[in-house]
Amino acid sequence: MTTQKTQKKAKGLSLNTRNTLVGMTFILPNFIGFLTFTLVPVVFSFILSFMKWDGFNEMQFVAFNNFAKIFKDPNFRNSLVLTLEYTVFTVLFSMAAALSLAILLNNKLRFVNFFRSAIFFPYVASIVAVGCVWKAMFMKNGGVVNALLGVFLPDSALPGWLADVDWALPAVIIVSVWKNMGYFMIIYLAALQDIPYSLYEAAEIDGATKWQQFRRITFPMLTPSHFFVLMMLIINSFKVFDLIFMLTEGGPGTATQLLSMYIYNKSFISWDYGVASAAAMILFLIVGGITLIQFRVEKKFNDFM
């Protein structure tokens, strides 16, 4: 009897209602995961940013004192500057490398599929394996990088890379570009293959050189991809943590202590969850502001075009 009543009720529902219910059942597991592991922690972090709490004692409401501590902390200012430096150089070099490789591998070359796969592989490789391999390669004595540089430079001029305050951040940037360029190369490659070849034929008839074709056709036609790659690289650069942790753990000293490492140290080394949450909120506002500006700029550019 109960089954018959349920069937009658189901038959009484409209098609749109049934489709909505079916769709909700598909997205419900993902929504529960998002609610549990993303939304609730973000809200809790926002509340903690106004509290003083070490994880054991009772929470104390301190209003904006955590934010005041952060802006007075020279380590936070240093982390912010390092994050900006890392972001600028990682974004520029990654975009340049990805676009160059995409243009090169868009041609009909022998073993082109192998080269595409080989360049993309570092993006999906384990960050632990990547960190261990590059730490060994960047060793001052016995590392592959210095062994190659030793052919052209004397031993006294070889950098210490990850163990050197001046060279640690450039080394991390090199690894970041190497790891990420394959993914963005695929995005550029897909966009390049959507450009009508008739545009290049018309340009050749008009006598345009390869550089003129790139500057007048290829680069402008890739504008949507430029905006996407730029946005993703900036967001990823601001929240990078795993690669820094595996390579340097923020060292030597504070030479590679980016904002993510600063938040980690405040949380799990100093046990100051209030200050760490306040720093996380500042990072959230920075990334959100940059993303909003990028969307506004892209919209105005598309309207102009």
- Report if pTM > 0.95: no
Phi, psi of 61 (to 5 degrees): -75, 125
The domain 66-304 belongs to what CATH superfamily?
A: MetI-like (1.10.3720.10)
**Residue ranges of the chain assigned to CATH 1.10.3720.10:** 66-304
pLDDT digits (tens, 9 = 90+) for 33-49: 888 988 898 899 999 99
Task: Look at the alpha carbons of 127, 145, 233, 43 in this order and tell me if their dihedral is positive or negative.
Answer: positive
> Is the pLDDT at 104 greater than 80, yes or no?
yes
pLDDT digits (tens, 9 = 90+) for 148-191: 998 888 888 889 999 999 999 999 999 999 999 999 999 999 99
> Is the pLDDT at 12 greater than 80, yes or no?
no
**Cα separation of 168 and 148, whole Å?**
18
Work out the average pLDDT over 50-73. 90
Q: What is the pLDDT of residue 293?
A: 86
Q: What is the pLDDT of residue 1?
A: 47
Work out the average pLDDT over 81-88. 95
Identify whether the C-beta of residue 260 lies closer than 8 Å to the C-beta of residue 244.
yes
